[in-house]
């Protein structure tokens, strides 16, 4: 973030909040893809996995993503559904951490009464979330 000494506090706050949003976006990309449409596919797989868990006899045609992926990896649809739901639960947890931290930092920046306080509030520590992304 470039801060010009001529910027007033409200201008600085806007710049810092935009930087916080960009930083959160970069952290999200450690876990998810930004390929166009991919998030829609993940949501569809989750919906199919939930439907399959609710009705294990559901027709293959009603779970095309899971059926195709299960066949590609030579596993059952049930196994694939469990994997997809586990990934969705893990993402939900991480996503909540990122979002809470992002919104808290933006609120702290907004509440700051000096440029020094605003800069300090915008310094988001993502190290624990990065550690989750890089652990195996």
What pLDDT is recorded for position 7? 66
> 46-55 contacts: CB < 8 A, separation 24 or more?
46/84, 46/85, 46/88, 48/81, 48/84, 49/80, 49/81, 49/82, 49/84, 49/85, 49/88, 50/85, 52/77, 52/78, 52/81, 53/81, 53/85
What pLDDT is recorded for position 109? 98
Domain ranges of the chain: 9-134
What pLDDT is recorded for position 4? 57
* DSSP structure class, residue 6: T
pTM: 0.81
pLDDT tens per residue, range 40-79:
999 999 999 999 999 999 999 999 999 999 999 999 999 9
* DSSP structure class, residue 30: T
């Amino acid at each position: 973030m470039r801060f010009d000494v001529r910027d007033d506090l409200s201008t600085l706050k806007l710049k810092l909040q935009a930087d916080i949003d960009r930083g959160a976006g970069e952290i999200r990309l450690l876990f998810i893809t930004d390929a166009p449409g991919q998030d829609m596919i993940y949501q569809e797989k989750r919906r199919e996995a939930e439907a399959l868990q609710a009705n294990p006899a559901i027709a293959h045609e009603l779970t095309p993503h899971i059926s195709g992926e299960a066949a590609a990896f030579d596993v059952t649809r049930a196994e694939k559904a469990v994997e997809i739901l586990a990934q969705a639960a893990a993402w939900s947890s991480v996503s909540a951490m990122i979002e809470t931290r992002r919104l808290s930092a933006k609120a702290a920046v907004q509440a700051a009464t000096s440029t020094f306080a605003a800069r300090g509030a915008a310094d988001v520590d993502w190290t624990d979330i990065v550690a989750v992304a890089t652990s195996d």
